[in-house]
Amino acid sequence: MIFKLVGDGRPYPEHGLSSREWAQIPPRQVRLDTLVTTKAVLDLHSLLAKDSTFYGDLFPHVVQWKGELYLEDGLHRALRAALHQRSVLHARVLEVQD
């Protein structure tokens, strides 16, 4: 099992963080098997593209809400880590309150 659960959508409240605000959160290690995805489908062209991690943040974005870790952005990075037999990923984790 790669992820804890494959979800479809964001069950947590809107946080409204900009890319610049995400960049202020220091990355930390997160186990892949603790993540719940917010996308059920991934385009293989995105996963296999050589420059797929060139644009945007280097670290996936994870939202912690009600004790769960939701992978909001960076599904292709997480899958690449799993394909390389890694069980952890460096990600920016935002804690959202109710």
pLDDT at position 31 over 60: yes
Higher pLDDT, 93 or 49: 93
Q: For domain 5-9+21-95, give the CATH number.
A: 3.90.1530.10
pLDDT at position 23 over 70: yes
Q: Which two tokens stand for residue 73?
A: 């952005």
Q: Which two tokens stand for residue 34?
A: 């603790």
State the pLDDT confidence band at 76, using cuts at 50, 70 and 90. Answer: confident
Number of neighbouring beta carbons within 10 Å of residue 66: 10
Give residue 53's pLDDT: 55
The per-residue DSSP string of the chain comes to --SSEE--S--SPP----HHHHHTSPEEEEEGGGEEES-S---HHHHH-TTTTTSS-SS-EEEEETTEEEEEE-HHHHHHHHHTT--EEEEEEEE---
**What average pLDDT does range 53-57 have in this prediction?**
60
pLDDT at position 66 over 70: yes
